[in-house]
Amino acid sequence: MSYSLAEVNRIIDGYGADKEALVQILLDIQHEFRWLSREILLHTADRLGLPMNHIYNVTTFYKHFSLIPQGRHAVSVCVGTACHVRGATQLLNRVSQGLALSPDETSADEKFSLKTVSCLGCCALGPVMVIDGKYMSNPTANEITEIVEECE
């Protein structure tokens, strides 16, 4: 996905270029572009008057930040304890096959990203996956195929 430094500046300016708002600025930038490129991080560091190593430390400390391009459709599979004992491994295998992706991969066309998470907060429904904010309890291979086709 391409990005515009003008858009990055708009986001930074929305916080008054306040270095105390760094995490929220980075979250907003990532929401807009789906990842944080080196160029964006360098530009943000320059605009906020912060050293690049500080920006890098923040982005690598918080798991939510991505330094690699992410897909337009985010797919997460819960592998927390409750989901694990209810078949999360099998669900992850079905999702991986349906998307032709391994966890922490993004498709070449940047359509899908697959990741595992520790908990999605709906343990009683496990195993659970979420795609673009839609939660699904133990979907079948056919349901996963339908979801992928709907996103085409």
Domains of the chain: 5-61 (no CATH), 73-150 (3.40.30.10)
Kindly report the average pLDDT of the chain as a whole number. 93
Based on the number of CB atoms within 10 Å of its own CB, is 120 exposed (0-12), middle (13-18) or buried (19 or more)? buried
Has this prediction a pTM greater than 0.85?
Answer: no
Residue 128 confidence (pLDDT): 96
Contact assessment for residue 96 and residue 102, using Cβ atoms and an 8 Å cutoff? yes
The mean pLDDT of 20-32, rounded to a whole number, is 97
Residue 63 confidence (pLDDT): 84
Banded model confidence at residue 71, pLDDT cuts 50, 70, 90: very high
Contact assessment for residue 91 and residue 56, using Cβ atoms and an 8 Å cutoff? no
Q: For 16-127, list the strands marked E by DSSP.
A: 73-78, 105-106, 112-117
Residue 51 confidence (pLDDT): 98
